[in-house]
Structure 1
Amino acid sequence: MEKYLSICIPTNGMTEWVKIVLDSIYSQKIDNSLYEVVICDNGSEDTLMQFINQYYKEKENLFYKKSTANGFLNQIECFKLANGKFIKFLNHRAKLKDGAIERLIDFARTHDDSTVVFFSNGALADIGDTKEFNDFDSFVKELSIYSSWSGGLGIWKSQLEKILEKDTFNSLFPHTDILFFNKSANRYVIDNNLFFSEIDTQHSKKGNYNVFYAFGVEYPNILLQLMTEKYISVETLHYLLLQNCKFVTNLYRDFIILKKPCSYNLENYKNYLNIFYNEKQIRRHAFFPPVFRRI
């Protein structure tokens, strides 16, 4: 029988987080035949594999694979292993709320692949619980910079099979490639209900990618390409670039001026911030009230 839901957890071997995430999943007492959990681990150690073999070996709906995929591309390797009707990305720091799995299974039961959905987890305060759109431009504009956020991603297996025909994915934003794949859907939905809480939000443990290249160059370029190909309007592009600039300014204040601990690569930040933006202006604005956002 086809499972309704695949919960995909890419990780770099963070056993202490994955343990809490798995506990939050299996404590919900959902029939294991209705869903599966897929873990793809590109960490250098075998600690997580040993933990799962010791404590979760009896879970027939839990699948673990060691991966050699680099960085965020481990997401794609994880999705390839999924067999559920609907696939939900779950960050290895995301502790599921009670009832979250049941709600995701209900969503898979009552919808089909004509619906594109993003789970914003309460981040978009102005839209209430859910908001629907009938065009791609409105959907992308409402998401604002959260379209760069992997934690909200969900995809139908039938759509994923088409997406995986792509030869390459963006190495920093493969999840955004997936989110933006279907630009002519009949229905777009943002589900703003709370599905999880973060275990650990310290930036000292959030990866070693170049954060100013990612959000100063690569993500704005993705948005520019959408406008160039006429999938979003010039007005929407301007709005999104402005929102992203506020976010980048927040990063600048935290990690360049205040020098808060982080694991990110901060090299060449001035060069990267002078492509779509103005580094000197960002520096002047960096003392304004921050715009909070997860990455």
Structure 2
Amino acid sequence: MSANSRPGSTTIPQTPAWAVGDHTVRRIDEIVLPAQTGPWLLPGATTDLVAETPWLRPDFADDQGILRLASHSFAVEADGMRVLVDTGIGNGKQRANPAWHDLNSDYDTRLRAAGFAPETVDLVILTHLHTDHVGWNTRAEGDDWVPTFPNARYLTARTEWDYWAGVEMEEARQQMFRDSVHPVRDAGLFDLVDVADDGTDIAPGIRLLPTPGHTPGQVAVELSSGGERALVTGDSIHHPVQMSHPGLCSCVDIAPELAARTRNQVLDALAGTSTLLLGSHFPPPTAGHVHREGDAYRLAPAAPGNTTVRG
């Protein structure tokens, strides 16, 4: 089933999955982002620079040096809890970015096929409050937007909320808050977490780690079980090219120098360890282990096992 299949398809999509001890992490695909996303998001990642990094091809860049990027969530089964990390762009939302505007993806079908019917989700973790990470927080019900996950608590860092509450937002971002954040808060499902400098546990085997720079309160999500660990990046690392060039920042980083320092710290801590890195916008194979390569890093991909869950 392609990433652009529509709801109502008779084929149940396969769900890429990784084991982290007793936890299972599933990638819930939304869309493949268009080719122009890379040059816009990471303008410093020129085709010449990408060509100098051969390990990016063919998975993470094409033969012309154009980066591949994707939008997806991670659905985690952890000690009986059903946890969703980020919620993508969302369907039917009015967006300034043409690639995100009025989507009609099969995300809901894929989520259910993975065994994560929305009413069964216990916890939604929002790594940060950007449009492409909060969209499926809500769904349309008539003329209203209502929480997609009515029995879940939605978590984000207090620092993140406080930042956006204190700045003047352009209309497009205000619209995103109106349709994808405020309805959850109005329903009493939105919780703020004080994230300590060394991280904060929010459930057994699930820890939030501060990764500021892209936004002030962005977090990464650490999963641990049975001596095994994984880290969901959020947008502290948008694309593997930033492993070879950790100083390469995105056009939407609020504090680029801080974002680069954070990225270096994350990669330095993971390099040479068995911790699985799960990229929030990395195209398939999406996950891997960080290795040092000179003064920088590279990703050794870890292919998932494909599971089909029939609920």
Query: Is the shorter-chain TM-score for this pair beyond 0.5, marking a shared fold?
Result: no
Higher percent of residues as helix: 1
Q: When the two structures are superposed, what TM-score results if normalisation uses the length of structure 1?
A: 0.29
Going by fraction, where is strand more abundant, 1 or 2?
Answer: 2
Calculate the TM-score normalised by the size of structure 2.
0.28
